[in-house]
């Protein structure tokens, strides 16, 4: 999955009932990972709650619901994709849009490639990073070409995503691009991410 959750927190709530989880999900907590953890567990217990509440959830709670939806399968997943596409094509905040792209990548991958690529030049580096994750996570055609284009992105967090994606692709061309980033990127952290990726691929 594209999101990151606290595994220890999930272990602590895995035995909770849906009603316990719902009460937690409706608390006021200033921590988006809290809602990701609860949203994931609710998806296993009562996905209808997330699907039916998605339109009314706001902020970190909405983001947590979207993350939870990324764990669905079957008919629930198809319904989730339809709802997420509405968010993708609507007027979402940057964090919600990025979470939506990540969830769509987990649920649908290549089938939503064209819709997601409409946001490839979004003003938020976090949205552009989510687009990148779908590109390399879904192993779409032209993935190397698309990642190479992003090597010139002005934000280092996006260029770090490029290095991660090239490591994931692990093709000869991807390795060449990683070597270039490791030597030439203007940001020290990005260069180090590329160096680490090359070392991992050499093992």
Q: pLDDT of 25-51, one tens digit each?
A: 998 887 778 999 999 999 999 999 999
Q: How would residue 181 be classed by pLDDT, with cut points 50, 70 and 90? A: very high
Write down the pLDDT at residue 10. 52
pLDDT over threshold 60, residue 149 = yes
Q: Report the distance separating Cα 181 and Cα 193, nearest Å.
A: 9
Write down the pLDDT at residue 110. 85
Q: Using an 8 Å Cβ cutoff, are 134 and 165 in contact?
A: no
Cα 7 from chain centroid (whole Å): 17
Q: How would residue 15 be classed by pLDDT, with cut points 50, 70 and 90? A: confident
* pLDDT tens digits, 57-114: 999 999 999 999 999 999 999 999 999 999 999 999 999 999 999 999 999 988 999 9
CA distances for 88 relative to 58, 103, 135, angstroms: 15, 11, 16
pLDDT over threshold 80, residue 9 = no
* pLDDT tens digits, 66-75: 999 999 999 9
Write down the pLDDT at residue 98. 97
pLDDT over threshold 80, residue 14 = no
Cβ-proximal residues to 74 (8 Å cutoff; 6+ apart), any chain: none
- What Rg do the C-alpha atoms of the chain give, in angstroms? 18
Q: Report the distance separating Cα 83 and Cα 18, nearest Å.
A: 22
């Amino acid at each position: 999955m594209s999101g990151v959750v606290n595994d220890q927190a999930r272990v602590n709530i895995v035995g909770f009932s849906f009603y316990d989880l719902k009460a937690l999900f409706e608390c006021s907590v200033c921590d988006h990972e809290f809602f990701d953890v609860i949203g994931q567990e609710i998806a296993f217990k009562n996905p209808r709650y997330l699907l039916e509440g998605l339109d009314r959830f706001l902020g970190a709670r909405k983001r947590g619901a979207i993350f939870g939806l990324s764990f669905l399968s079957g008919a629930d997943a198809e319904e989730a994709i339809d709802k997420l596409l509405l968010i993708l094509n609507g007027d979402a905040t940057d964090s919600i849009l990025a979470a939506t792209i990540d969830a769509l990548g987990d649920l649908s991958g290549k089938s939503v490639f064209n819709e997601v690529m409409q946001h490839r030049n979004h003003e938020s580096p976090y949205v552009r990073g989510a687009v990148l994750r779908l590109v390399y996570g879904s192993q779409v055609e032209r993935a190397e070409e698309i990642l190479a284009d992003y090597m010139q992105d002005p934000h280092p967090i996006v260029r770090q995503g490029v290095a991660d994606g090239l490591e994931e692709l692990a093709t000869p061309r991807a390795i060449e691009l990683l070597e270039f980033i490791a030597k030439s990127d203007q940001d020290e952290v990005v260069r180090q991410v590329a160096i680490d990726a090359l070392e991992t691929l050499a093992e």
